[in-house]
């Protein structure tokens, strides 16, 4: 077996590498780390992915040298050889371009800055959600679990609301148009108080429609407040930033859009208690007022007693007076009756007088001229009647009185 | 105060949840503020109880209505099964 010097073997390797067509002209994709610039202006860095890494060098003059920054994904073009002095395998980079996703991220960042500067994400512009939404509009795909999750949350939390679905694709070239149309459609519905824009998780490319400027502007311009629930908690799209409320997931978007029926029921029970206690307090207050008035009356009782006494006295006086008057009247009547008694003709006859009448006419004879000799007359005494005939009529001779 | 003043031109059953909730809150506020006759307070209390009953009934009987735009409205039939 031959023994080689280090120089010999590294030269051997170098020749082999440099004669290998694949290694003479290739592109490698990876993330930049450990980028340094030497005094001479050469750029040294490492390209790595999750499994491996390789040393890289860009000699002056370099193209797109500014792209070489730690953390950036890029595609480097060049050849592979060995640096004999250190025995390092090196990628001699002639040119770099941004990795596609890196470019997308940069573009997205540029758009974000522009829209932010325009005020589209301004917190002060965000509207609060109505407490009891009549209907919730949902912009999402009918495929997949998102819609099902939203339905479940609404059904559990606040089934009083109505769910209006504006289906759209949420990924691919038609997604932007679909999302825009759905937002417009839901804005035309009169009873929709909140719109949820939802999508399941995905890569930056998958979520592209929600980073599209037209969609972001439509969200910003929506008449109806918008809640976003796009992707997973770690995904933040420009749509999320423009929405009135950003929820981390579609289910969370449904949660924040409606009140909880359980909480509302508890509140209503509390309010029923409050009604009862307030009304009870009023009744109790009135009852105390009445009690107090009654006490006042009670405390004023002696005065009333005195008044009663006075009234009683007055009644007594009156009664006596009436009684006296009555007795007087009784006396008067009695006296009157006695006098009447004396005038009763029967009593006069009893004393020996009689009433004489003309028998034919019953006329009382008051003077001698009423009869002549032979006239039939009747004398009525107190105990009987005497029939007689006039035998003589003699006038009373004048006595000169 | 009578029902007429409370829900102008409407029967209590026609009130939305939001209207009911708001009237209920208002009834409590008025009772708290005081200055009512006993008759007014009684009326407020009774109408408040009716409002509370109406609101809780609405919440417990509700079933999510689902409509896909440009398709006929559906009443959720899975309510009892899934909750």
Cβ pairs A/B, distance under 8 A = 102
- pLDDT tier at A283, thresholds 50, 70, 90: confident
In Å, the largest CA–CA distance within chain A is 223
Interface contact flag, B45 A276, Cβ < 8 Å = yes
Statement: residue A63 has pLDDT above 80:
no
Contact assignment for B38 to A282 by CB distance below 8 Å: yes
Q: Is the predicted pLDDT of residue A193 greater than 80, yes or no?
A: yes
Contact B68 A167 (CB under 8 A): yes
Strand-pairing partners, residue A192, are: A135
- Does pLDDT of A157 surpass 80? yes
- Read off the pLDDT of each residue in A64-73 and give the average, rounded to a whole number: 80
| Chain B: residue whose CA lies nearest to A140 | B68
Per cent of chain B over pLDDT 90 is 34
Determine the 3-state secondary structure of A88 from DSSP.
Answer: strand
CB contact under 8 A, B59 and A131: no
Is the separation of the CB atoms in A97 and A74 below 8 Å?
yes
Alpha carbons A333 and A23: distance in angstroms, whole number: 162
| Average confidence score pLDDT of chain A | 86
A252: pLDDT strictly greater than 80: yes
Cross-chain CB nearest to A155 (options B16, B36, B79) = B79
Residues 6+ apart with CB under 8 A from A7: A84
List of chain A residues whose C-beta atoms are within 8 Å of the C-beta of residue B25: 271
CB contact under 8 A, A162 and B66: yes
pLDDT at A118 over 90: yes
Over the stretch A355-392, which tens digit does the pLDDT of each residue have?
889 988 888 888 888 999 999 999 888 888 899 999 98
DSSP string, A168-233: ---SSTTHHHHHHHHHHHHHH-TTEEEEEEEE----TTTTGGGG-HHHHHHHHH-SS-EEEEESST
Instruction: Tell how strand A192-199 and strand A135-140 pair up.
Output: parallel
Cβ B24–A162 below 8 Å, yes or no?
Answer: no
More confident residue, A271 or A64: A271
% of chain A at pLDDT higher than 70: 87
Distance CA A261, CA A155 (A): 10
Q: Sorting pLDDT into bands at 50, 70 and 90, what band is B81?
A: very low
Interchain CB contact of A378 with B (< 8 Å): no
Contact yes or no for A166 and B48 at CB 8 A: no
Closest to A152 (Cα-Cα) out of B64, B57, B68, B74: B64
Same fold, A6-98 and A129-259: no
Hey, is B6 helix, strand or coil? helix
Partner-chain contact A165 B38, CB within 8 Å: no
Confidence of residue A103 (pLDDT cuts 50, 70, 90): low
**In chain B, which residue's Cα lies nearest the Cα of A162?**
B65
Chain-centroid distance of CA B13 in Å reads 7
Backbone angles phi, psi at A159, to 5 degrees: -70, -5
Asked if the peptide bond before residue A386 counts as cis, ω within 30 degrees of 0, the response is no
Q: Which residues of B touch A (CB under 8 A)?
A: 16-18, 21, 24-25, 27-28, 31-32, 34, 36, 38, 41-42, 44-45, 48-49, 52, 55-56, 58-60, 62-69, 76, 78-79, 82-83
Q: Which of A163, A167, A265 sits opposite B65 (nearest CB)?
A: A163
Q: What percent of chain A has pLDDT over 90?
A: 45
Weakest mean pLDDT among A81-85, A147-151, B3-7, B78-82: B78-82
Report A:167-226 residues touching B (Cβ under 8 A): 167, 185-186, 189
Residue (of A166, A157, A133) closest to A264 by Cα position: A157
Q: Are A60 and A25 in contact (CB under 8 A)?
A: no
Q: How many percent of chain B have pLDDT more than 70?
A: 71
pTM over 0.90: no
- What residue spans define the domains of chain A? 6-98, 129-259, 349-389
Q: Per-domain residue ranges for chain B?
A: 3-82
pLDDT score of A208 = 87
Mean pLDDT for A71-93 is 90
Name the CA radius of gyration of chain A, rounded. Answer: 66
Residues of B in contact with A185 (CB under 8 A): 69
What pLDDT score was predicted for residue B2?
Answer: 44
**Check: CATH 2.40.50.140 for A6-98?**
yes
Comparison of pLDDT for A335 and A384, the residue scoring more: A384
- What is the tens place of the pLDDT at every residue in A288-312? 877 777 777 777 666 666 667 777 7
Residue A158, pLDDT > 60, answer yes
Phi, psi of A46, deg, nearest 5:
-120, 135
Q: Distance (Å) from the C-alpha of residue A78 to the closest C-alpha of chain B? A: 56
Our CA dihedral for A207, A208, A212, A218, rounded to 10 degrees, sits at: -30
Residue A266 contacts B, CB cutoff 8 Å: no
CATH number of the A129-259 domain: 3.40.50.261
Predicted local distance difference test score (pLDDT) of residue B58: 92
A144-153, A186-195, B43-52, B63-72: which has the minimum mean pLDDT?
A: B63-72
Greater model confidence, A398 or A110:
A110
Tell whether ipTM is more than 0.85. no
A129: contact with B, CB 8 A cutoff: no
Mean pLDDT on A183-208: 90
pLDDT at residue B79 in the model:
44
Question: What does the pLDDT read at residue A345?
Answer: 62
CB neighbourhood size of B35 (10 A):
7
In the predicted structure, residue B78 carries a pLDDT above the cut 70: no
Residue with token string 């504006």: A166
| Bigger pLDDT: A153 vs B10 | A153
- The structure tokens listed for A322 are 């009436």
What is the reported pLDDT for A331?
Answer: 66
* pLDDT computed for residue B25 by the predictor: 94
What kind and span of H or E run contains A279? helix A261-299
Which is it for strands B65-68 and A385-389: parallel, antiparallel or unpaired?
unpaired
């Amino acid at each position: 077996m031959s023994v080689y010097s280090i120089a010999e073997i590294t030269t051997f390797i170098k020749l082999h590498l440099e004669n290998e067509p694949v290694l003479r002209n290739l592109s490698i994709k990876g993330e930049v780390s450990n980028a340094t610039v030497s005094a001479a202006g050469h750029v040294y860095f490492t390209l790595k992915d999750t499994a491996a890494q390789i040393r890289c060098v860009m000699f002056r003059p370099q193209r797109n040298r500014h792209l070489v920054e730690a953390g950036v994904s890029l595609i480097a073009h060049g050849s592979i050889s060995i640096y004999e002095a250190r025995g390092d395998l090196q990628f001699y980079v002639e040119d770099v371009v941004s990795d596609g996703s890196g470019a997308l991220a940069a573009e997205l960042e540029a758009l974000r800055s522009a829209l932010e500067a325009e005020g589209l994400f301004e917190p002060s512009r965000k509207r609060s959600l109505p407490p009891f939404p009549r209907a919730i509009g949902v912009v999402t795909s009918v495929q997949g679990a998102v819609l099902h999750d939203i339905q479940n949350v609404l059904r559990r939390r606040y089934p009083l609301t109505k769910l209006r679905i504006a289906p759209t694709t949420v990924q691919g070239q038609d997604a932007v148009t679909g999302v825009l149309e759905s937002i417009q459609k839901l804005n035309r519905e009169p009873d929709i108080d909140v719109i949820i824009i939802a999508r399941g998780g995905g890569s930056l490319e998958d979520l592209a429609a929600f980073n599209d400027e037209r969609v972001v502007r439509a969200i910003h311009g929506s008449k109806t407040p918008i809640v976003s629930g796009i992707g997973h908690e770690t995904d933040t799209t420009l749509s999320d930033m423009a929405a009135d409320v950003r929820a981390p997931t579609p289910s969370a978007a449904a949660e924040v859009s409606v009140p909880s029926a359980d909480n509302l029921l508890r509140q209503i029970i509390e309010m029923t208690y409050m009604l009862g206690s307030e009304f009870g307090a009023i009744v109790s207050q009135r009852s105390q007022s009445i009690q107090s008035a009654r006490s006042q009356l009670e405390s004023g009782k002696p005065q009333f007693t005195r008044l009663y006494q006075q009234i009683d006295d007055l009644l007594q006086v009156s009664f006596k007076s009436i009684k006296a008057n009555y007795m007087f009247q009784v006396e008067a009547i009695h006296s009157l009756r006695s006098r009447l008694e004396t005038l009763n003709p029967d009593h006069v006859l009893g004393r020996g007088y009689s009433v004489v009448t003309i028998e034919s006419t019953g006329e009382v004879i008051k003077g001698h001229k009423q009869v002549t000799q032979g006239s039939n007359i009747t004398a009525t005494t107190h105990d009987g009647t005497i029939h007689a005939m006039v035998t003589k009529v003699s006038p009373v001779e004048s006595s000169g009185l | 105060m009578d029902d007429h003043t409370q829900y102008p031109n409407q029967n209590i059953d026609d009130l939305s949840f939001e209207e009911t909730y708001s009237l209920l809150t208002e009834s409590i506020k008025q009772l708290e503020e005081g200055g009512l006759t006993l008759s007014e307070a009684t009326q407020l209390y009774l109408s408040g109880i009716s409002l509370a009953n109406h609101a809780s009934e609405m919440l417990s009987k509700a079933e999510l209505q689902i409509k896909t735009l440009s398709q006929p409205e559906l009443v959720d039939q899975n309510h009892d099964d899934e909750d």
